[in-house]
Structure 1
Amino acid sequence: MKPKYFSYFLISLAMGLFSCQTSTNDKKEENWTNLFNGETLDGWKVVGGKAEFEVKNGEIIGYAVANTPNTFLITEMDYSDFILELELKIEDLSSNSGVMARGQFDPTARDGQGLVYGYQIEADPSPRAWSGGLYDEQRRGWLYPLDLNPAAKAAFKMGEWNHYRIEAIGNEIKSWINGQEVAYVVDDMDSKGHIGLQVHSIRSAEDEGNKTYFRNIRIQTDNLQPKPFTGDVFVVSTGLNELTELEENNGWRLLFNGENTTGWKAAYKEEFPSEGWFVQDGILTIKASDGSESMSYGDIVTTEKFSAFDLAFDFKFTEGANSGVKYFVTLSEGNVGSAIGLEYQILDDERHPDAKMGREGNRTLASLYDLIKADKNPRFIKGPGEWNKGRLVVYPDNRVEHYLNGVKVVEYLRGSQAYRELVAKSKYHIWENFGEAEEGYILLQDHGDEVHFKNIKIRTLQ
């Protein structure tokens, strides 16, 4: 080929490649719809409170107003499955904010003032740093506090533009901030709703006028291509005994399959108890008896032993009930009553007398029984008849954590001097090296009260 014609060939090839790339990019951009035109609030409406919104320099600015409910700028349209991206900036610590995803609005609530409720991806500038977590506004409260994903707490940048990506596809809601994987929730309460931008209520007139900014708001609703999580992110599910692909890839498995008692047996026998414990509609239940400790039907334990692990479980107790999830159970103590082990306490703190026994509340719900009191905020406690989410993490270095409804409430180092001093002051002091076995069974306790369990899942930690 002659030099001149070769040059023409290269130019044509380059133009073809550019044209192909441009076409691909255009097609990709065509899949996005701008929800904000950069000039007006067409397609949006203000509801809930009296905070004000204006458009300036291609940005939506929300101004805080004291002594008014949370105010939302919501889309006039509802959306079902979508991928949403936007940028958000907060200039003051008082300006908590968030993005409603499939949000709901009841115009008749609060004597006609209206009420916004439903899924909200948080923007939290406080030291708590739960931005990107999932909050169920005016309904169930926190579904995904960032204690479940502490690595994501640093993603949000105060006073800077933060890029949010929110996927609501089927029963899965996922969030990213500045590219960081944050929250993963499986829940089917709402299948569609509005997109909403929040200006949170404030109490102090000194904080009036503080601004929250939003820009570059766009959405995809067709031909959705979910972005898979690739990190070690804890998944919160309100479903029934199911695992996501991410969980399976990260080593999680069901410890209770929801159908039968495979993998469990009576604490001191090779078979499962013949009565008292039963499975119905995907839930494992211990029947009420006389309130005594493992004297009616007996505890059940896993058929496997575990060392370092991450255990999650849902539990529901009846009024005045007492139970527990024990770990590092060896069944070697020869004691009468419930088998000995470290215990995540399950208790109706308001009605059971054990809550006022022990030392400084160390027998209350989610505590390390008789050793360490759970540091609980009342807003994260679900009472009798409601499902609570428990979690136990035992790391290979013997660090241990208890969680209640996504919030860490206990942490200690198994076998440390501080731990042994606590044991010496407790009912367990009579057992040598209590709770320090290299491995042990996981136990669900029969304490004579009706208690329910589901979504029991575990993974081993290396």
Structure 2
Amino acid sequence: MKIYNAFLCLLLILLSSCSLTQKTPWENLIKDNTLNNWSVKGGKSTYKVVDGAIIGNTVKNEANTFLTTNKMYDDFILELDFKVDPEMNSGIQIRSNSFPEYNNGRVHGYQIEIDPSERAWSGGIFDEGRRGWLADLEDNTVGKKAFKQNEWNSYRIEAIGDTIKTWVNGVPAAHLIDNMTASGFIGLQVHQGKEGRKISWKNIRIIDKDVQKYSTKTPLPPAPKRNLLTAEEQKDGWKLLWDGSSTKGWKGAKLEEFPKQGWLIKNGILSVLASGGAEAAAGGDIVTEELYGNFEFKVDFKLTPGANSGIKYYVDTEINKGPGSSIGLEYQILDDALHPDAKLGNHKGSRTVASLYDLIQADVNKPIKPIGEWNTAYIISNNNHVEHWLNGVKVLEYDRGSEEYLKLVSESKYEKWPNFGMLKKGQILLQDHGDNVSFRNIKIKSL
């Protein structure tokens, strides 16, 4: 029995050892230190192999250039290392194609972004030559920090069925579900730019058989959907106040149309551009075309350092046709740490973020996120009772027309406006205060 048990243990050890030494079936895509399995498409930037690494160099006045595999891939797991010039943009094409009948052979398809700029969207998913951004890193603060400037970085890309997932240096970056293209080549992009910029790739390896067996089992959350209503919101009567792509429903506060300058719509984000910090001096405020009485309103906003803006409600643009912003009650948007307005006003703290501007200070323990991250403002006004919320927490409340409210107005900059803040219905306003501030997911529900 002892001999049998010893034999059984030895057998288990051998089986375990064999299991541990089984290798993942990676295939190297750089073979024999040559580019024999690759082709150049697009521009005329150059590629060469040096010590097992592919090096791409920009050529002056050349269009985007792609070094593409001769083999087409559908489901796969791809890993590679790269090092990029900090002034250069690049990307990894996957499931991409080049057909003579499509824009004279233009390379098009999914691109895993290499982005050393301050935007830091490395690992995001872009649709080259077609639809643009599909899954960026705007909301992935941790993912944006994963890229290492002037160092070698590692990507893992899994494309399985209609799902694409990416990791940058082991950190989850993007997750996309999209079924537009199921197969294509893999490509290394040299983006057009100044001459002499360089990007290098090495350790390029792929699995394209039994892919599910080797996929990462930990699920990634899907990229947040911007400017869409959830099923619950639709059922509850919410409406989009901005569609995420056009100026429909909005106009300049002192114009009959949307401002031609000063505002930017890009990637589902509405931004007022920096113009020196003056109030309504560039593009100017924008307001809803519709009027609202009792309502619930919510919006995501993002500040840049030292920025100032605001969300005004019960606005009448016929009041104050002169310089400055239109008149209305205001949910303050401010960098409290850097903007001097945080210390001004007749009522202490009433010009800090989420406060009722110049009237009531928001809770000092309000849950504000760091500058550069998205916050959510929520305002409810029903039968003259108004509440300001920030990131899911109520930070102040008041009653329009109450004795306390009227006293506060009489002690503020608004005392010169008769019946200030007492309209039954008014417009919603996003303020141009000359600083770069962004908005998205602008929604309203009439009560």
Bigger radius of gyration among the two: 2
TM-score (norm 2): 0.50
TM-score (norm 1): 0.48
